[in-house]
Structure 1
Amino acid sequence: MLIVISYSAIAEEKKVITTDGVELFVKIEGKGTPCLYIHGGPGSGSYWFEKFFGDFMEEHFTMIYLDQRGVGRSGSPENKDYSIERMSLDFEEVRKSLGFEDWLTIGHSFGGILQMGYAEKFPEAQKGMMMINCTLYLNESFCESWAPKASEFLGENYIGCANDSLPMMERMNKLGSKLREKDIFWKMAYSKKENEEIMNSTWGQVENWNYDFGNAALSYEAYWQNFLDNTVKIDIPVLFFYGSSDWMVGPEHYKNVKFTNMLLWESEVGHVPFLENTNDLKKAIKTFKIKYRFES
C-alpha cells in the first residue's frame, strides 16, 4: 500500500521491509520538503544526528531518519548484500514506501559516497544534496589527510601511500590503535576530547546495536572508487560543507569537488559540525534552502 505524506508536521516510527526481506528502521518527523539523512560511519546510524541536530532540521524539513541495513536498529540481509547498488535500492524503496515523489538528502562523512551512488543509480530521486563533511574518495582522504595527520599527532613521519609497505586498511588500523592507546584519537575529528565522549555516549542509548554493515562495507571495492570525478556530471543543487580542521576527510578535499550547481561552504570546525560550531552549519543549511527555494 502506498502511503502519501503531506508536508505538515508529522512524527512516526515504522519498519520498512525491503524487497530482499530486510527490516529497516525509519523515523519521520518535521515539516517541509522531505529530506533523507544518509549517515556515515560506515555504520554510525541516524540516532546521533537526530539527537544533536534533529530539532533544527525538523523545523525546516520533513526528516527521514534511516538506519541503513546492518546498522543500529535495522536488520541485516541473509545474503550479506551490502553493495552500493543494494544500498541505493534501499533508499529508493523507503522513498516509495513513504509516498514521496522525490526528496532531498543530507549525508555525513561516508554518507557522501552513498549519496553519489544513489544519484548515479536513481538520478530523478534526489532534488538536491547536502553533503556535510563528506568524503567522495576514501583513498584521497586517507592518503592526503588521515594518515599524515594521525602520524603527526603521534610524532611520526608518514612516508605516503605510494611508498607504504602496508596495505591501506592495515595502516589505518595500526595508526588508529596507536591514537587510541595514547587517548588522542579525538584530535582527528573534534576540537576537544569532551565532545568525543559526548558523541560516544550515544551508542549505549540504543540496545543491541547492529554493526554488520560497519564490519563489511570497506571490503567492497566499489566504496573505494573515485566519486570526485563524477561530481561534474551532477547538476542538482548541492551544499558541500567542509571543515578547515577535519582531518578525517581532509580540509582540502573540496578542491576536487566539481558539482555544476554547488554552494561551497568552509567552516572552522572538525568532522562533526552538528555537535561543534552548529551555528555555522545552521547558517549554511538555511542559505542553501533559501537559495534553491526548498519549501517549508
Structure 2
Amino acid sequence: MKNLFLVLLFITAGFSAKSEEKRITTSDGVELYVKIEGKGTPCLYIHGGPGSGSYWFEKFFGDFMEENFTMIYLDQRGVGRSGSAANNDYSLERMALDFEEVRKALGFNDWLTLGHSFGGILQMGYAEKFPKAQKGMMMINCTLSLKDSFCKSWAPKASEFLGKEYSGCEQDSLPMMERMGMLGSQLREKDLFWKMAYSEKENEAIMNATWEEIENWNYDLGNAALAYDEYWKSYFEMTKSVDIPVLFFYGTTDWMVGPDHYKNVTFPNMLLWKSEVGHVPFLENTNDLEKAILNFNKKYNFFIQ
C-alpha cells in the first residue's frame, strides 16, 4: 500500500523541539492532530477516555512535562481535533499502527509513552504490536483490564454512591455495558458522577470545560471503541513479559480504575507509585505526580544530559 502519511517534521532524540502543530495523515487516510512542544527525550501522550483527547493534559500538566521532555500531544483518530476513519476502523491494532506512523513521521528512533486511564490498554496494545518502539511507559491511573476495573471498583462504588448494593458481575442480569450506562445515568441524574474520579465537585466541571475550548470536537472514537471485544481483554498476564521500565502510578481513591488494580500488575522492571488522589492527578495532585515522574526518569536515566 502506498505510504500516505506525511513526513512533516524530523526530530532525533535529544533535539530540542519548538512548539509546532501538525497534521499527519495515516496510511489509511485519517488526518491526525499532533502538537510537539518541549525539549529532551520524546514522550507521546496517549490519552484515555476512550475519546478524552490530549488537550486537558497539556493544559494542566504540560508546563512540567515540556520542561523535561519533548512532548507529543496526539488526538487519536475519531477524537478532538483529529479526523475520523472512513472505514470506521478503531481497532486496537489500527490505533497502535497510528502511534507507530506518527513516530516514524516525526523521525524518532523510539520514545517514551505516558498513558492515562484507558490509555494503558492502548500502551499495551502498542507494546504487543511494536515491542521496540517504546523505551519506557509511564502509566498514570491506567486500567489494564476494563472488566476488572468495572466489576471490582466502578460498579460497586457507583452503587454505593447511589445507596445501593451491587451483587457482582457474575450475578448481574445485565451485560456490563448496559449496567455501566444505567449506573452512569443514575449518578449524573443525582449529580454524583464526580465522586467516581475527583475529590472536589468543581474539578469535574473544570476538566469538562476543556472540551468546550475546542471547536467541533470529534466524538467518533468514544462512540465506537467499547464495541470492540479486544478492548475488554485483560492485559494483566502480558505485564509479566514486558521488560521495559514502567512507572505504574495509582490513586487510593480512584474508583474509575480501582485502588487495588495494581495488585494484578507484574511488570518485571516497574516503579510502583501509590498516591493519595483520585483519577486525575494532573489536576488534583500535581506535586506527587511530578515527583513520581522525576524519580522514574532519573532511576532509568531517560533524561538527556
TM class by smaller structure? over 0.9
Q: Does 1:84 align with 2:84?
A: no
Indicate yes or no: 2:222 matched with 1:229.
Answer: no
Cα distance, 1:4 vs structure 2 = 2.3
Query: Residue 281 of structure 1 aligns with which residue?
Result: 289
Equivalences for residues 50-61 of structure 1 within 5 A: 50-61=58-69
State the superposition RMSD in angstroms.
0.8
Question: One-letter code of the match for 2:58?
Answer: E
Shift in Å at residue 257 of structure 1? Answer: 0.1
> What is the distance in 1 between the residues matched to 2:272 and 2:106?
31
CA distance in 2 between partners of 1:47 and 1:4 (Å): 23
Gapped regions of structure 1 (runs ≥ 5) = none
User: Equivalent residue for 1:172?
Assistant: 180
The equivalences for 1:153-232 within 5 A come to 153-232=161-240
Structure 2, unaligned stretches of length 5 or more? 1-6
Displacement of 1:2: 7.2
Query: 1:89-139 CA deviation, whole Å, 9 max, x = no partner?
Result: 000000000000000000000000000000000000000000000000000
Give the counterpart letter for 1:12 in structure 2: E
Say whether the 8 Å CA contact 1:2–1:99 is kept in structure 2: no
Further displaced range: 6-15 or 71-80: 6-15
Distance 2:295 2:221 in 1: 34
Show the counterpart of 1:13.
21
SS at the partner of 2:281? coil
- Please give the residue correspondences for 1:129-168 in structure 2 after superposition, counting only pairs within 5 Å: 129-168=137-176
1:4 corresponds in structure 2 to 10
CA distance in 2, matches of 1:286, 1:150: 34
The runs of 4+ residues in structure 1 deviating greater than 4 Å are none
TM-score (norm 2): 0.96
Secondary structure at the aligned position of 1:161 is classed as: coil
**Quick one: which amino acid aligns to residue 246 of structure 2?**
V
Q: Alignment length, in residue pairs? A: 296
Give distance in 2, aligned partners of 1:120 and 1:2.
27
Is the aligned partner of 1:33 residue 2:41? yes
What CA deviation, in whole Å up to 9, does each residue of 1:21-56 have, x standing for no partner?
000000000000000000000000000000000000
Which residue is 2:259 aligned to?
Answer: 251
1:246 is paired with a residue of what secondary structure?
coil
Q: 2:121 is aligned with what amino acid?
A: I
Letter in structure 2 aligned against 1:57? M
Secondary structure at the residue paired with 2:71?
Answer: strand
